[in-house]
Amino acid sequence: MSLERKIVLKTEDLVKTFGEGDLEVHAVDHISLEVREGEFTAIKGPSGSGKTTLLNLLGGLDEPTDGRVIVDGIDLSKLSRNELVDLRLKKIGFVFQAYNLIPVLTARENTEFIMLLQDRPKEERTQRAEQLLHAVGLEGHEDKRPGKLSGGQQQRVAVARALAPKPAFILADEPTANLDSKSTENLLDIMKKLNEEEHVTFVFATHDDRVIQRAKRVITVDDGKIVNDEWKEELVG
């Protein structure tokens, strides 16, 4: 299974429990997994199985009850609040179901936004945003605000924005949930191309069969546990 590929994300005995006593919910229940560079991995499972909770832990958006998350060799539990914010901006790309673009900013400005927070030079920001919006098929739409774009186009801006700082991987929680079939296929084509040509690593939480069918690896969770972990397409090169 391509053991030479770098591990970009790892969890050790990860636990997230909500509530107490009779109301205790083991949303993530002792999950250990490794994700290598170039994966196109779907985490699937029924509603309430813990996918979002797991993704939030993987992205350092939530704190585990127990266990560890290691991003690009860095143990998140060892970081201060500010270091964690910094690591998230640098190393982790997020794509959400609801796109989460900033409505008053254009596609270009949304794409540049994280680089702006990182104080990247203007020229680099402009160039990278241009290149990314082109890569996601939004040439000619750079100056439109989200309200003037379709759902599929907004989600492609979200992918461009997530990629801008060259993160170690992209976490996408139900990215196709609000999209019709055509926009879904289009978005998946673009992400798969970025995965194959640029080795961008994607981890999806999804119950969408169209995403699951395109995944190279499918991890099934139920009741906060991994119940199956299957490779459909090996990593090559």
Residues within the interface to Mg ion (CB under 5 A): 51-52
Cβ proximity to ligand ADP: between 160 and 170 the closer is 170
User: Out of Mg ion, ligand ADP, none, which partner does residue 232 contact, by CB within 5 to 8 A per kind?
Assistant: none
Token pair belonging to 27: 């949303």
Q: Minimal distance in Å, beta carbon 113 to Mg ion?
A: 25
User: Out of ligand ADP, Mg ion, none, which partner does residue 27 contact, by CB within 5 to 8 A per kind?
Assistant: ligand ADP
Cβ proximity to ligand ADP: between 130 and 223 the closer is 223
Q: Minimal distance in Å, beta carbon 52 to ligand ADP?
A: 3
Number of H helices, E strands in the chain: 7, 10
Q: Minimal distance in Å, beta carbon 196 to ligand ADP?
A: 27
User: Out of Mg ion, ligand ADP, none, which partner does residue 229 contact, by CB within 5 to 8 A per kind?
Assistant: none
Cβ proximity to ligand ADP: between 27 and 71 the closer is 27
**69: closest CA among 159, 157, 168, 149?**
168
User: Out of ligand ADP, Mg ion, none, which partner does residue 115 contact, by CB within 5 to 8 A per kind?
Assistant: none
CA–CA dist 70, 92 (Å, integer): 12
User: Out of Mg ion, ligand ADP, none, which partner does residue 47 contact, by CB within 5 to 8 A per kind?
Assistant: ligand ADP
CA–CA dist 194, 188 (Å, integer): 10
CA–CA dist 157, 163 (Å, integer): 10
Binding site for ligand ADP (CB under 6 A): 18-19, 25, 27, 45, 47-53
| 3-state percent helix, strand, coil for the chain, nearest multiple of 5 | 40, 25, 35
CB atoms inside a 10 Å sphere around CB 6: 11
Cβ proximity to Mg ion: between 98 and 104 the closer is 98
Q: Minimal distance in Å, beta carbon 58 to Mg ion?
A: 13
Contact 157, 133 (CB under 8 A): yes
Residue 10 CB partners (closer than 8 Å, separation 6+) = 33, 34, 35, 69, 70
Q: Minimal distance in Å, beta carbon 98 to Mg ion?
A: 12
Cβ proximity to Mg ion: between 52 and 176 the closer is 52
